[in-house]
Chain A
Amino acid sequence: MSVSEEPFPIRRRALLGGAAAIPLLLAFGGGAGEAAGLPPIDDAFDGLVAFLVPGGDPFSVRQGETSTSDGGVAAGAGPALQYVYDQAIPYPIVGRPFDLNLPGAAAVAAILNLVAVEVAPAAALGPFAAAFANLSFADKVEVFRRLAEPGLADGTPVRFILDTLPTLAAFIAYSEAAVFDRATNRLTAVPVGWRISAYQGIGEGWNEFRGYYRGIDRVPD
């Protein structure tokens, strides 16, 4: 978490520059938008994962829905989810309905923040850099209700992207993504998602064989 986060990570500048050669008109009749400044990404994603899986972190406190056990922010799901969307959307989203000209996690953050300000204009004032992160839980729900409305982005990949947000955020929050070292193929800590779901983790097998139902282990045609 950072209240005044660095808004322009180098890797996003590079990504934006590299992808600009293939601008994509995602909706009907929309022209390429002006290149936008990059939105506050980190806080937007932490606000998102706190919404799906609340904990005791400041993002959960801000939304007014907390938990005594760790949630998505403590799980490190925000940065991990950013990486997923940078891979999933390597092209800039331009045209209606959002006119962003941004790729990847930056596009996701911009969409969340744009709609957050529509829902609650005061959300732009902080304390977090991302308007979405400043919303109450109910207002975050309202953001998703508006994003899900039939007709908003139907027929475009934006429709698909919007609907993946809660799903992938939940998936990442309960996964090992933030504590897995791909270089060594090993976990660096017990994933938060395992602890809060009472999951015993990866095993080679379990003492779970209870026989065959009514003793039948082979059936005829």
Chain B
Amino acid sequence: MRDIVIVGAGGGGPVVAKELAARGLDVLVLEAGARHLRPEEEWTRLEDDTNDPITGRFRVGPSRREEAPWLRDFPQNSFVWQIAGVGGTTLHYFGNCPRPPAGAFAGYEGADRAEYDTAHVFPFSYNELRPYYEWCEETLPVRTAPMGTKEAVFFRGAERMGLTHQTWKDLRGPAYRAQENAILQPQGTAGRTDDPARLLFPEARGCTFCGHCFQGCLEPRHAPRNLKAKRSTDNSYVPMMLTADAWSPGGRAAELVTDAYVVRVLSEPAGSRTAARGVVYRTPDGVLHTVEARVVVLAGGCVENPRLWLNSGLPNPNDWVGRGLTEHHLDWVVGTFDEYTGESKGAGSNCRLDFPGYGGVENVCLPPALQAFAFAYSDAGMSGYYDNGAGVGPQGADTLGRLVGDDLKTALGDVNKLLTALVVTDDDVQPENRVTRSAIIPPDPHGPVPRVEVRHRARTARTRRNREFLAARSAELLRLAGARSVHRLDWAPLLLHVQSSMRMGLDAADSVLDSTGEARWVDRLFVADNSALANAAGGANPTLTTQAVATRTAENIFRRYFGGDPWVATEAPTSSIDDRVTQAVLARGL
């Protein structure tokens, strides 16, 4: 019997694995997708080859790309940008690690406390979680982002808005700032030359401004895996969990098995309750494998976790498994400039606006095909032709909706004369936004497939208010920065930031997890990814909060089931770029 089996090697699972492997526990991580062990040889950074959501390397599907993706039932205009495989969706995240507003947590008494989703706060205070943020920020590590041309243009607009320049981490009010990013800062030749021959490690260290965050980070070339610039978990927590014996006294390396799709959580009666005792996973040859473990941790994501729970027949007495999905009600506002903006170069996003209680706005760097995707994705019809009854306005933009034909081609005439603003809304938990099992698409070899329902046009008044406010601020910023024209998309649901489908909460009537991250009705079963979050993290990019909560959950597991003491308050974290990690990564070919 293993000590811990973790389902999923994305943004959250490797955090628990790393922390408990460092304590010497026997940890097994099962990942349904690909290993991505040699990115310099395997990845092209080309957009279709990498990002095509159906056929690309980064998709929700098997590692064998000639096979079809794993099907999901989306009964509305929507899209998903999740990834199966080691690193999960952090493979294309931008490393943005803002701390969330304290108003998203229990016990907040600030003057703006009514501005948040007060019915669904985290079941502990921000101050209680704060040490875990600090722990993760040093582990990844998180640092203040550098500036490229596109950031200089963005900052120009932000300055003219009259906002405060924030030079601290905790949110105190509306402000603009450089992102706090889990991306190693540029050193040596990185960011200072176009010459690929001079961008090899160690001459170049940290971010080379290549512009391919969304295609996975392999820069600088020749760098050990844990010294790649972006701290997606494949470059940070996964190398740490696999080398825990090398950098943690008493540590024990975790084991990772990929192409291992968990199809069932095993459980047994425990008195009047139910307890998890392991999992069953399926390999591509069709063989089912059973793993027994003292504790099971679900970290397969907001869509897969509820599916696995329901397919396993685990209890769901309040019917909240899969409910309360939040996805930041994202939107996209674009400015077209007469000047060079460097839009396709640099890190994914290095600057942002924050409006606590509303959410945030950040700049985004994308190559042309993804820009085209973003330009042609909307719930508001085709720009200039019909609005599909969307009921939203341009909020200061010149035009609204999908761009097609000459309009699209003109807008994308020079990708480096755009500046894009991603609206990240603090959206409310709504029970009708949920993951269930499809009655329409046939089951696949892993069981009934998930159905993801988002009632895009039935958001709460606060959610709608927040998004319209942020779209207006985006248009304002772009104009003040000098945009010749501004276009708003009104995106349909784009499942890029997804949270809270297995939410923890104060109230047992509307949550799946208690305040420790353990399932309310199944002992020894924890959830440790974005789905465990109580709400939309106040509109902050969710990964850092997920990793902080997962670190706290790891402590709770260690304390409750292994008789150990917590460590975050008493120890100093080891950085994922620590030389002991590097040497072990090199020695083990990781």
A-side residues, CB < 8 A to B, are: 22, 24-26, 51-54, 65, 67, 69, 71, 80, 83-85, 87-88, 90-91, 137, 141, 144-145, 148-150, 154-157, 159-160, 163-164, 166-177, 180, 182, 185, 187, 193-194, 196-200, 202-214, 216-221
Min CB–CB distance B259 → chain A (angstroms): 19
Q: Which residue of B lies closest to A163 (CB)?
A: B77
Min CB–CB distance A22 → chain B (angstroms): 5
Q: Which residue of A lies closest to B178 (CB)?
A: A213
Are A199 and B44 in contact, CB atoms less than 8 angstroms apart?
A: no
Min CB–CB distance B553 → chain A (angstroms): 23
Q: Which residue of A lies closest to B197 (CB)?
A: A204
Min CB–CB distance A152 → chain B (angstroms): 11
Are A211 and B147 in contact, CB atoms less than 8 angstroms apart?
A: yes
Are A154 and B49 in contact, CB atoms less than 8 angstroms apart?
A: no
Are A209 and B409 in contact, CB atoms less than 8 angstroms apart?
A: no
Answer yes or no: B342 CB below 8 A from chain A CBs.
Answer: yes
Are B193 and A207 in contact, CB atoms less than 8 angstroms apart?
A: yes
Are B376 and A141 in contact, CB atoms less than 8 angstroms apart?
A: no
A50 to B477, CA, bound (A): 34
A137 to B212, CA, bound (A): 34
A152 to B552, CA, bound (A): 47
Additional A-B contact list (4), CB under 8 Å, known A163-B492, A173-B372, A220-B169: A149-B388, A157-B74, A175-B46, A209-B209
Min CB–CB distance B350 → chain A (angstroms): 9
Q: How many pairs, one residue from A and one from B, have CB atoms within 8 Å of each other in the complex?
A: 266
Q: Which of A173, A185, A197, A221 has the most CB of B within 10 A?
A: A197
Q: Which of B68, B151, B367 has the most CB of A within 10 A?
A: B367
Are A205 and B208 in contact, CB atoms less than 8 angstroms apart?
A: yes
Please name all residues of chain B whose beta carbon is closer than 8 Å to the beta carbon of A176 when the two chains form the complex. 46-49, 369
Are A160 and B78 in contact, CB atoms less than 8 angstroms apart?
A: yes
A28 to B166, CA, bound (A): 54
Answer yes or no: B580 CB below 8 A from chain A CBs.
Answer: no
Are B52 and A171 in contact, CB atoms less than 8 angstroms apart?
A: yes
A196 to B408, CA, bound (A): 11
Are A202 and B212 in contact, CB atoms less than 8 angstroms apart?
A: yes
Q: Which of A25, A145, A208, A209 has the most CB of B within 10 A?
A: A208
Min CB–CB distance A24 → chain B (angstroms): 7
A217 to B225, CA, bound (A): 24
Interface residues of chain A: helix, strand, loop or mixed (majority) = loop
A154 to B46, CA, bound (A): 34
Mask: chain B, 67-102; 1 = CB below 8 Å from A; 0 = not: 011010111111100000000000000000000000
Q: Of B148, B385, B388, which one neighbours A209 at CB under 8 angstroms?
A: B148
- Residues in B176-192 with C-beta less than 8 Å from chain A: 177-178, 180, 185-186, 190-192
A197 to B508, CA, bound (A): 52
Answer yes or no: B405 CB below 8 A from chain A CBs.
Answer: yes
Min CB–CB distance B188 → chain A (angstroms): 11
Are B373 and A213 in contact, CB atoms less than 8 angstroms apart?
A: no
Please name all residues of chain A whose beta carbon is closer than 8 Å to the beta carbon of B408 when the two chains form the complex. 52-53, 170
Q: A157-B440, A176-B49 are in contact. Are A218 and B492 (CB under 8 A)?
A: no
A184 to B241, CA, bound (A): 33
Q: Of B134, B210, B385, B389, which one neighbours A203 at CB under 8 angstroms?
A: B210
Q: A84-B52, A180-B46, A219-B180 are in contact. Are A145 and B381 (CB under 8 A)?
A: yes
Are A197 and B415 in contact, CB atoms less than 8 angstroms apart?
A: yes
19 A–B contacts from the bound complex (CB under 8 Å) = A26-B440, A52-B376, A53-B372, A141-B386, A144-B382, A154-B76, A160-B75, A160-B76, A170-B373, A173-B369, A175-B47, A176-B46, A180-B44, A182-B49, A197-B371, A197-B412, A208-B345, A213-B178, A213-B351
